[in-house]
Copies of this chain bind each other. A is one copy, B any other.
Amino acid sequence: MPQDDELSAFDAATTVQRAEGGGLVTELDPGWDVGGGILNGGYLLSVVGRAAVLESPHAHPVALSASYLRAPAAGPATLTVVPGTAGRTLAHSLVTLADAGGPALTVQATTATFGDDASAYSQPMPDVPPVEECFSLAEHRHLAPPGMQVPGLSLRVDTRLDLATAGWAFGEPSGEPVLRAWMRFSDGREPDPLALLTFADALPPTSFATGDFGWAPTVALQVFVRALPAPGWCLVEARSSEIAGGWVDEDYRIWDSTGRLVAQSRQLARAPRRN
């Protein structure tokens, strides 16, 4: 757990500051990569979410829809927030994250402020073994196939896979594109809506479970935050419905430690080529 007087790795890596002249700037951290120097799309969305909230009368990101135009480099980047309509309960904006190479992602953001509302209806959390019986990605990174780089992301986001969905790590892919894992930040920083934006794209590609270990670059990603998460581990499930024509979808649901659904995401990615 980070000390009170120091920022957690996540808060440091997603810091957004106001530059002279009023624009927003950030320093993209190379440590949040998925291999090959490519920064994780969820991490980038957390940076964007922080910028959206900074320029909003509301406290939390509720709905973010991102188009990934190109992979930005680690290092300095700018955030441009164009306010849209705003009302008593929510505000819209359009956020562009750009590096020296130009715009990297454009995001439609809706912000609001969550209270402590109870659920009127909630999809139940799947039954998953406790954390200590799950498979730590970080602890088993020596098992990575030759040539596969260990993503920095897996060191910063503690990911414990349900063994029922981890057969691919032992050379026995299930063939069903589903992954489930307990997740929290490695330094113990508790989850909040900004963290959920990272968690919503932090599992390995679901195609790993079908034995395809290529990179699946995100084209479009939408995340809905549904409630303030309770402290502790989140359960994150990713599932694909259709793999065809070079495209794959990934559907995430995230429950907090009390079993409440706190976020959902859906992305469309380019399917990895079959080896």
A-side residues, CB < 8 A to B, are 62-63, 65-67, 69-70, 84-85, 89-90, 92, 94, 103, 106, 108, 110, 114-115, 117-123, 177, 210, 219-220, 222, 224, 226-227, 240-247, 249, 251, 253, 261, 264, 266, 268, 270-271, 274
In the A-B complex, the 4 residue pairs with the closest CB atoms: A65-B65, A117-B245, A63-B220, A123-B241
Instruction: Specify which chain B residues have a CB less than 8 angstroms from the CB of A266 in the assembled complex.
Output: 222, 224, 264, 266
Chain B positions within 8 Å of A65 at CB level: 65-67, 108, 220, 222
Our pick among B67, B114, B210 for the contact of A245 (Cβ within 8 Å) is B114
Asked, given contacts A62-B247, A108-B67, A110-B67, whether A242 binds B220 with beta carbons under 8 Å apart, the answer is no
Q: Is the CB of A264 within 8 A of B246?
A: no
Subset of 17 A-B contacts with CB under 8 Å: A63-B268, A65-B66, A66-B108, A67-B84, A67-B110, A89-B246, A90-B219, A110-B220, A121-B177, A121-B244, A123-B242, A222-B222, A222-B266, A227-B242, A227-B245, A241-B261, A266-B266
- Do the beta carbons of A243 and B110 come within 8 Å of each other? no
Q: How far is the CA of A244 from the CA of B123 in the complex (A)?
A: 12
Q: Which of A67, A120, A224 gathers the greatest number of chain B CB atoms within 10 Å?
A: A120
Which residues from B are CB-within-8-Å of A85?
69-70, 103
Number of copies: 2
- What residues of chain B lie closer than 8 Å to A120, measured between beta carbons? 210, 243-244, 271, 274
Per DSSP, chain A at the interface is strand
Query: Which residues of chain B are within 8 angstroms of A242 by Cβ–Cβ distance?
Result: 119, 121-123, 226-227, 261, 264
Cβ contact of A244, chosen from B108, B118, B271, cutoff 8 A: B118
Chain B nearest CB from A73 CB (Å) reads 16
Given the interface pairs A62-B268, A65-B108, A65-B220, the reply to whether A241 lies near B115 with Cβ below 8 Å is no
The answer to whether B92 touches A244 (Cβ under 8 A) is: no
Which residue of B is nearest A222, CB measured? B222
A244: B residues at CB distance < 8 A: 117-122, 226-227
Chain B residues with Cβ below 8 Å from A115 are 245
When distances are taken between beta carbons in the complex, the residues of chain B under 8 Å from A177 are 121
Whole-angstrom distance between the Cβ of A212 and the nearest chain B Cβ: 9
